[in-house]
Structure 1
Amino acid sequence: MTATAPSVAPSDEPAAQPARPSHLRRLVPVGLAVLAGLLLYVSFPPRELPWLAPLSFALFGAAVYGRRLRAGFGLGLVFGLAYLVPLLSWTGVDVGPLPWLALAVAEALVLSLAGLGIAYVSRLPLWPLWASGVWIADEALRARFPFGGFPWGKVAFGQPSGVFLPLASLGGTPLLGFAVVLCGFGLTALVLRVIGLRRSGDEGARVLRDRTVVAAAVVTVAPVIAGAAVMPFVSNAAQSGTARVALIQGNVPRMGLDFNAQRRAVLDYHVRETMKLATKIESGEVKRPDLVLWPENSSDIDPYVNQDAYDEITRAARAVGAPISVGAVVTAKDGTTRNRLILWDPEKGPGATYDKRHLQPFGEYMPYRSFFRIFSKEVDRAGEFVPGKKAVAFDMAGTKIGNVTCYEAAFDDVVRDQVREGAQILSVPSNNATFERSQMTYQQLAMDRVRAVEHGRAVMVPVTSGISAVIRPDGSVAQHTGMFEPDTLLADVPRRTSQTLATRAGVWPEALLAAIGAGGLAWAVVRSRRGRRSDG
């Protein structure tokens, strides 16, 4: 870091010229970037330490403040690798380190653009504001590019609890992430400004009156105050009565990519667990549910063409006396393979369907298969699924269920579309057996908790092997299962019909926050050109 303190407000005093750093001193920003990345990783589940995220960005802000563009890019890459390599380690389960490291490096390279941009705007007045906008613009890019984007690791997804979380109901994940980053960068500006004033010999009273210190303090605490102010308005209250929901976790024969080798066993496990529930209902031990949710891939045998599978699902639905949402791999009428959810009525059989719209690249489909086969033959294990085209809310015994299949929970628009379609309760059926006991399950559950607050909906998470969960609209977990054990969750879940500001606003909060970053970059370009002209 240079000895010059950051400015968050215009100043008439000329900037001090930094002394040439020693070789050892040049390593300090690199060390700060590494530590910042590791802290951000540690803030994510399975640990629940959301308060570490602002500290991470405070360190990252100190690392890139006042740096040249090339240095900002490099420090952003270092930060991204320290953060994403451990965060995405679950992607290497069963397929080895090459895909995991390739993904982490690719995502870190996109993130390094944020480091470049943040370094560039850090010379501006009120730089934490512009820098936070740059970060959100970079997250927006990562959520869309390449191959449809990979939003995993957005700052918001590490905030399933804490003071910032309620802001998701106002502006979705972009506003939630912006608040965390702004708080961290504001802390950087505050600390470095105070240090600079102290070194110049200013007394404590003058430091407290310094307008740059005041502005930095406001920027730091404003997101915290805003989150605390919104918190009382996040409600779990039912608006259209309640629905009694059963979540079935049947478990799988084995962990890893080959768990589907015994596809019939997976279906049988979920039928068996549902039949256990039916027995308890008949004995009066539990009340009959209004609806039953099975996870993604609970029937990888196509029930449309396999009569045995059709009969088993029908038997389970009739025994429990309620409609079941079944996750199945099916062949559509056009001959394509679909990851489909089927609304199964006890008497009528299969009805409405929802096809997963946002498929997982390198898993459910393989982009540029022949090219990537050069590096690994594992690419041939990827599927050839075709995405669905529209949102569908299942009407299950009078309750509108909005389905978001597994990986889709990472994408803002998919979840939002289901709520706008009329969903009173959200369901995120998932299959995490592929990733064994890795932290992936916990990271995805955190996303679901954020989505609950963002849209003011209870979120049901039926998973083949765990962790299945019932999440309240305030993001808290009411019930959950263990991993790799059959279980059933029963809960009276509030049906909600109102839409949060985030749901109504759609993509606009992200666009406006990204525009702040773009505006800061444009201002920095103008200032730079004016500076060169004046020097000439």
Structure 2
Amino acid sequence: AINSDPREVVERHLQASRSIDSDANNPIDLVVWPENVIDVLDFESSTELREVTAQASRLNSTFSVGITEDVNQQHFTNAQVIVTPDGQVVDRYDKVRRVPFGEYMPMRSFLASLGAPVDQVPRDALAGTGPAYLDVPTASGSERISVVISWEVFFGGRAREGIKEGAGLIINPTNGSSYTWTVLQSQQIASSRLRAIETGRWVVQVSPTGFSAFVDPSGKVHQRTSISEQAVIDADVDIRTGQTIYVALGDKPWVALVILVFLFGFISRSRFRPSR
């Protein structure tokens, strides 16, 4: 839940990870934890990194975990990092599209001057600037995955950016605890389906309070959990290659097409309007 003790959240995810078994006949390439389940000052010097490393080492698997780090009293970061079995943090993606009025307060000074309760969002997340992918070491080599944190999955261009750079899979670590019993949870699964179809890739959605699921490239949802259900789900997913029409062309041609359709309709209506 949104008001859960940060340490309790970490313990729950460690407990879930301890329930996973792996052996030479059933290797696990990647374990994904949700968005911001670790809240620390500095992850790379934290106890939490050592605890994640212990599980990564036990399973001989790479972990992708969601972290928030304090920058100062006014700012924090929201990132997804890659942790290897030897405890190295080898890649990091900082969330680019922040949630307005949730992760940051737009026009904070102006709204404060109007008496708005800007203290309801006491700190602002710093926006990332890096590309939307992570490189994941596996037993068979490095694999590139596209990463869209939380509501970034609603924006096709975020997933497309990683795919354009060679990603063969999309992960969507999220934490919808502010919207646990709302329609947003279903909307997010629907958005994961869109991203899967648009890009021709599997999408792995992981949440501590909302829906977790695998979505195949046709948009079919597999193993969707219930709201706030504690579960570990696993699947063999294909690392895909190639580009769909959407990945190749992006949004601009479709926006132009919509504009042309509206213009055609407007011109046709004006041209054939009956005289009085």
Does TM-score exceed 0.5, indicating one fold?
yes
Structure 1 residue 263 and structure 2 residue 18: aligned?
no
Structure 1 residue 287 and structure 2 residue 26: aligned?
yes
| Contact 1:364–1:382 (CA under 8 A) maintained in structure 2 | no
Structure 1 residue 506 and structure 2 residue 250: aligned?
yes
Going by fraction, where is helix more abundant, 1 or 2?
1
**Partners of 1:522 and 1:408 in 2: CA distance:** 34
What is the TM-score when the length of structure 1 is the normalising length? 0.47
| Contact 1:295–1:464 (CA under 8 A) maintained in structure 2 | yes
**Partners of 2:178 and 2:255 in 1: CA distance:** 35
Instruction: Kindly report which structure 2 residues correspond to 1:516-527, keeping only aligned pairs within 5 A, or say none.
Output: 516-520=260-264, 523=267, 527=271
**Partners of 2:19 and 2:50 in 1: CA distance:** 17
Per the alignment, in what secondary structure is the counterpart of residue 79 of structure 2?
Answer: strand
Q: Flag the 1:481–1:525 CA change in 2: closer, same or farther, 3 A.
A: closer
| Contact 1:471–1:478 (CA under 8 A) maintained in structure 2 | yes
Q: CA deviation at 1:369?
A: 2.5
**Partners of 2:258 and 2:119 in 1: CA distance:** 35
| Contact 2:75–2:123 (CA under 8 A) maintained in structure 1 | no
Q: CA deviation at 1:522?
A: 6.0
Q: Flag the 1:510–1:382 CA change in 2: closer, same or farther, 3 A.
A: farther
Structure 1 residue 451 and structure 2 residue 191: aligned?
no
**Partners of 2:259 and 2:183 in 1: CA distance:** 34
Q: CA deviation at 1:368?
A: 2.0
Partner of 1:426: 170
**Partners of 1:303 and 1:474 in 2: CA distance:** 40
Structure 1 residue 409 and structure 2 residue 150: aligned?
no
Structure 1 residue 307 and structure 2 residue 49: aligned?
no
Per the alignment, in what secondary structure is the counterpart of residue 158 of structure 2?
Answer: helix
Going by fraction, where is strand more abundant, 1 or 2?
2
| Contact 1:366–1:379 (CA under 8 A) maintained in structure 2 | no
Q: CA deviation at 1:375?
A: 6.3
Q: Counterpart amino acid of 1:467?
A: F
**Partners of 1:298 and 1:377 in 2: CA distance:** 27
**Can you list the C-alpha shifts for 1:322-372, whole angstroms capped at 9, x where unaligned?**
111111012469x95221111111114212110111111010111122444
**Can you list the C-alpha shifts for 1:412-454, whole angstroms capped at 9, x where unaligned?**
2111101111110100110012212222111100110111011
| Contact 1:264–1:301 (CA under 8 A) maintained in structure 2 | no
Per the alignment, in what secondary structure is the counterpart of residue 419 of structure 1?
Answer: helix
Partner of 1:316: 55
Structure 2 unaligned runs (5+)?
A: none
Q: Flag the 1:382–1:320 CA change in 2: closer, same or farther, 3 A.
A: farther
**Can you list the C-alpha shifts for 1:124-150, whole angstroms capped at 9, x where unaligned?**
xxxxxxxxxxxxxxxxxxxxxxxxxxx
Q: Flag the 1:409–1:524 CA change in 2: closer, same or farther, 3 A.
A: same
Structure 1 unaligned runs (5+)?
A: 1-254
Cα RMSD, aligned residues only: 2.7
Q: CA deviation at 1:501?
A: 0.8
- Computing the radius of gyration from Cα coordinates, the structure with the larger value is 1
Per the alignment, in what secondary structure is the counterpart of residue 90 of structure 2?
Answer: strand
Aligned residues: 270
Partner of 1:389: 129
Q: Counterpart amino acid of 1:316?
A: Q
What is the TM-score when the length of structure 2 is the normalising length? 0.87
Q: Counterpart amino acid of 2:239?
A: R
Instruction: Kindly report which structure 2 residues correspond to 1:433-512, keeping only aligned pairs within 5 A, or say none.
Output: 433-512=177-256
Per the alignment, in what secondary structure is the counterpart of residue 288 of structure 1?
Answer: coil
Instruction: Kindly report which structure 2 residues correspond to 1:11-410, keeping only aligned pairs within 5 A, or say none.
Output: 255=1, 257-259=2-4, 262-277=5-20, 280-281=21-22, 287-304=26-43, 307-331=46-70, 336-373=75-112, 374=114, 376-377=116-117, 380-381=120-121, 383-396=123-136, 397=138, 398-410=142-154
